[in-house]
Amino acid sequence: MPFNPFSVLTSKIFGGLALALLILVGIQSCQIDRITDQRDKAKLLAEQTQAAFDQTVADYRAAAVEAERIQQANLDRVKAERASIDERTIHDLKTARDASDARYRRLLASAAQADTSRAADPDLSAVTDAACLAYGAARCDELPAKLKAAQDNTDQLIALQAWVAGQAVISTNPAE
């Protein structure tokens, strides 16, 4: 029997193959749609992740710039406060030194006047020098210079203490 391509068996085979091919194409189409959808979701997620990363980097950079600005403003404030304290302390020390110089000149004038009155009585001069040596560890004419040096040292120490106390009060934290 010759092969008849249009026989019932061959048409069923071809029909079954056609139906299987149609089902296979349909399934493949569904899988392509599902994979395409997954791809689109993955692309969207990647874009959102990159956008969030870029925003985070921009926020960190902006925060760093703001921190630098705050730090510079704080440094400028602290320098200004310290300069003000330095200026005030120096002014106070100069004022104290000027007052000390004026008192020193008055003491020298008073000592010179006392010397003239002592010169007339040699016994009083010896007693006075002995008292100066006993209490001041120096001759009477040397005492004003020692007192001036002591007063200058005291004034400088007081000014230094005021300067340290003023510097210690300055807050180095940024202002709120």
Residue 149 in any domain: the answer is yes
No. of helices (H) and no. of strands (E), the chain? 3, 0
Residue 157 in any domain: the answer is yes
Residue 58 in any domain: the answer is no
Residue 44 in any domain: the answer is no
Total number of domains in the chain = 1
What pLDDT does residue 91 have?
Answer: 93
Q: Whole domain around residue 145: which residue ranges? A: 81-176
Residue 131 in any domain: the answer is yes
Per-residue model confidence as pLDDT tens digits over 63-90: 999 999 999 999 999 999 999 999 999 9
What pLDDT does residue 121 have?
Answer: 58
Mean of all residue pLDDT scores within the chain: 83
Residue 152 in any domain: the answer is yes
Residue 137 in any domain: the answer is yes
Residue 155 in any domain: the answer is yes
Q: Where are the alpha helices (DSSP H) in 120-142?
A: 122-136
pTM as predicted: 0.58
